Amino acid sequence: MTTTLLLDNSAWVRLADAALPAERADGIAEALESGRIAACLPFLLEAGYSARSAREHDQLLAELRSLPRYHLDDAVEQRALEAQAQLARVGHHRLPPVDLLVAALADRHDLGVLHYDHDYDLIAEKTDLTFDSVWLAARGTL
């Protein structure tokens, strides 16, 4: 894994899954430590949503805010809207808005997306957004 990857919540919540191969978990841990996995506001909001208490939320966000961070801007917003329009033309526009924002951010900054969510493959296939769709583990294994 050489490129920087934006972290998607679908991967984040599965990092401790016992079915994740140890070699893959070690590679992800090394990428996290070396700053090759990054966060963005849509991911932080999704991760924070899953917290069960204010204390857990504070701890989680403190940890995640230590990751490198990429920010939304007008260009990212426009690319996300364009991608949704492209998906609408082929009947796939009902994808989560967070996924569209993360993919548009990856496109804008030449990043990949680390996920466990087929939506990113669909976005890469059906829109002109360009990013590496990187599965945490093979689909259906976690």
Instruction: With CA atoms as reference, report the closest residue to 35 among 11, 77, 56, 7.
Output: 7
67-95 mean pLDDT: 96
Query: Which domains, from first to last, does the chain contain?
Result: 5-135 (3.40.50.1010)
Q: For residue range 87-119, list pLDDT tens digits in order.
A: 999 999 899 999 999 999 999 999 999 999 999
Structure confidence at residue 1 (pLDDT) = 55
Q: For residue 61, what are the CA distances in angstroms to 51, 64, 65?
A: 9, 5, 6
Residue 38: the pLDDT is 98
pLDDT score of 86 more than 70: yes
pTM of the model: 0.94
> What pLDDT sits at residue 57?
97
